[in-house]
Amino acid sequence: MVAGEASGDLLGSHLMAALKARRTGLRFSGIGGPKMIAEGLESLYPIEQLSVRGYAEVLGQYRAITEMRRRLARRLLEERPALYVGIDSSDFNLELERQLKDAGIPTVQYVSPSIWAWRGWRVRRIARSVTHLLALFPFEPALYEKAGVAVTYVGHPLADLIPLASDRAQARAQLRLPATARIVALLPGSRRSELQYMGEIFVRAARRLSEQLPEAHFVCPTASRDTREQFEAVLRSAGAADLPLTLLYGHSHEALAAADVALVASGTATLETALIKTPMVIAYRQSPLTWALMRRMIYLPYIGLPNILAGEAFVPEYIQNRATPEALAGALAALLQDPIAQQHQIERFRAIHATLRQNTAQKAADAVLGVLDGARA
């Protein structure tokens, strides 16, 4: 099993727990984070070595990542595991899966690459690489079935993990946030590369919003000690050390549950925010090189997962040059002052939650064991 970032580590840990509950004697090795390791994974490399996002950023680590994959492939081809499960991180996993599948080792890709956002040219590569694909979103299976790829829709584990309703007052009390303030959650990304491009913009947007609404209080959950220190450095460099802000280590779900609205970097965090039913504004910035390449390939008119799942841009998105502190502060202020717009988002979020709540880990485990048993037959 190989996961390349925190969201994949969560997926992998839930899948491992469900597999162990159904089948004794299973052993797991590969690459994973603390959650997968706690479930018994022997992690051969630190997951941080794969947690890189963006074309320009990956280029800087390309040689190290390629060498890691080459060594892992050699080891797995020698050991011949009964099954390989690649968890998201398709740029790393698909090439490795192709080599293993060609050698007769069955492969499962858990999380579809975003072929629906990046055109369908990758389907042929995926078909060559995977024995079975586990899809998180309901519109994905049809895209693969046309190409003859075996696929199972399993839903999204976050929809199982996150309750259908949250208690805002309880979350505020737990985090010691002011009970009557207008709480704004800031989620500028969990990776250093994301904070590099969005951290200062988020801070300056918060500073501007605080000037407009003095009763606003901000909460920012950070993914690691490293990203917390990076965000603190941004606060100092932006002259925002006096911003009314509660900085957390972890507790992103509680922070979102406590918030009236949120400013969220595009990615899995937008889905978490939707499932917690917190109205949001989505922002995205990358390096100019990465963005230039992305613009040539993206064909969807929106990038936030809630908008993609709903098939319409009901959550405001501010991308690249449009993602300025002034624009983001204005969008947050407008959302805070518009209960009808907030309720519209919340209703759409409830519908998304109902669709994705599928008992994912159990469905995924059943599919994985089906591939394993089929290979042994």
> Looking at residue 173, what is its pLDDT?
96
- pLDDT at residue 297 is higher than 60: no
- pLDDT at residue 57 is higher than 70: no
Asked, colleague to colleague, whether 2-155+358-376 and 168-356 share their fold, the answer is: yes
- pLDDT at residue 111 is higher than 60: yes
Interval 305-340: pLDDT, tens: 999 999 899 999 998 889 999 999 999 999 999 999
> Looking at residue 56, what is its pLDDT?
43
- For tokens 């042994």, the residue is 376
Other Cβ atoms less than 10 A from the Cβ of 32: the count is 29
Report the distance separating Cα 189 and Cα 220, nearest Å.
10
Quick one: tokens of 351? 């519908």
> Looking at residue 55, what is its pLDDT?
44
At 78, the pLDDT band (50, 70, 90 cuts) reads very high
Mean pLDDT, rounded, of the chain = 89
Report the distance separating Cα 40 and Cα 267, nearest Å.
28
At 54, the pLDDT band (50, 70, 90 cuts) reads very low
Which sequence spans correspond to the domains of the chain? Answer: 2-155+358-376, 168-356
For 29, residues 6+ apart whose C-beta sits below 8 A from its C-beta are 1, 41, 42, 43, 44, 81
Report the distance separating Cα 329 and Cα 75, nearest Å.
51
Overall average pLDDT of the 60-65 stretch: 71
| Architecture in CATH for domain 2-155+358-376 | 3-Layer(aba) Sandwich (3.40)
For 118, residues 6+ apart whose C-beta sits below 8 A from its C-beta are 297, 298, 299
At 183, the pLDDT band (50, 70, 90 cuts) reads very high
Report the distance separating Cα 196 and Cα 118, nearest Å.
24
Sheet strand arrangement including 132-135 = 42-46, 29-32, 2-3, 84-87, 107-110, 132-135, 151-153
Interval 141-174: pLDDT, tens: 988 888 889 999 999 989 999 999 999 999 999 9
- pLDDT at residue 255 is higher than 50: yes
- pLDDT at residue 72 is higher than 50: yes
Query: Does the pTM of the predicted model rise above 0.85?
Result: no
- 168-356 CATH pick, 3.40.50.2000, 3.40.50.2300, 3.40.1280.10, 1.20.1260.10: 3.40.50.2000
Overall average pLDDT of the 44-63 stretch: 64
Quick one: tokens of 79? 């050991």
Percent of the chain with pLDDT over 90: 66
